[in-house]
Amino acid sequence: MRRQPSDEELSVTVCNGVNVRVKHIGTVSLKLNSGYNLILNDIVYVPSMRRNLISISVLKKCGFTFFFCSNKVEILCDSNLVGFGIFLNALYLLNLNFVSIVQCQSDIPSVVGSKCGRAIETSFML
C-alpha cells in the first residue's frame, strides 16, 4: 500500500546536506537469491535519487545481522544466511531475484523506482 508523506516526511536529507522531495511512501517485497522474501515497510520513493538504497541500521533494528568480509556482505536472520551483496562503487550491491511493490496502484512507476521507473530491479544498494 502506498501513501502520501506527512508534513514531517516531505523530504529526505542526503549526504551533501540537500533536502530532496519524497513523492510516496509504501511497502516493497524483495525476493533474495536464497528464496528469502524481505518485506520493507515505509519505503520512501524519491524520484531525484539515482540509486535504490537500504539502510543497514534499519535492517539491524529489524533483527538482521551482517558479516562483512573480502568485499562481500552476508545477511543473516536468526543465524540463517538469507542474502548477500558485493562491494561495488563504494556501496554493497544486494543480489536479488525479484522486486515487487506490495498493493501498489499502477498509476505510479514504482515505490522504489529509479529514474526510468522500472518496477522490477535486479539489485539494491546497502
The reported pLDDT for the residue numbered 21 is 92
State the pLDDT at residue 68. 94
- pLDDT given for residue 14 in this prediction: 84
Please tell me whether the overall predicted TM-score, pTM, comes out greater than 0.75 for this model: no
Q: What 8-state DSSP symbol labels residue 90?
A: T
The C-alpha atoms of residue 80 and residue 97 are separated, in whole angstroms, by: 18
Partners of residue 5 on adjacent β-strands? none
pLDDT of 123: 46
Name the stretches of the chain with pLDDT < 50.
103-126
Domain ranges of the chain: 7-125
Give the pLDDT score at 50. 80
Give the three-class secondary structure for 73.
strand
Give the model's pLDDT for residue 75: 92
Q: How far apart are CA 82 and CA 36, in angstroms?
A: 6
